C-alpha cells in the first residue's frame, strides 16, 4: 500500500492548498489542524489566518 504524500498547490490569485498528511501548529505550539485539504491564506487579508476565508476575492494581489 502506497503511503499518502503531502501536496501543496498554489492557486493563482488565491490560497495555498495543502492535502495529504500534515500538522499545523499555532504560535503556542498547539495543533490547530491536521486534516486536509486545507487552504492557507497567501493574500494577508483573511480574518481566520492561517486559513483562507475567501477575502482574496475582494483583495486582488499579484503573484
d(CA 34, CA 26): 12
Rg (Cα) of the chain, in Å, rounded?
A: 13
Site for ligand FES in 5-24 (CB under 6 A): 14-15
45 binds ligand FES (CB under 6 A): yes
Does 55 sit near ligand FES (CB under 6 A)? yes
Residue 42 contacts ligand FES per CB under 6 A: yes
Distance separating alpha carbons of residues 18 and 39, to the nearest angstrom: 6
Binding interface with ligand FES (CB under 6 A): 14-15, 41-43, 45-46, 52-56
Amino acid at each position: 500500500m502506497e503511503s499518502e504524500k503531502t501536496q501543496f498547490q498554489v492557486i493563482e490569485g488565491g490560497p495555498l492548498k495543502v492535502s495529504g498528511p500534515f500538522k499545523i501548529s499555532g504560535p503556542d505550539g498547539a495543533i490547530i489542524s491536521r486534516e486536509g485539504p486545507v487552504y492557507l491564506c497567501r493574500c494577508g487579508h483573511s480574518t481566520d489566518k492561517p486559513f483562507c476565508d475567501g477575502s482574496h476575492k475582494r483583495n486582488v494581489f499579484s503573484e
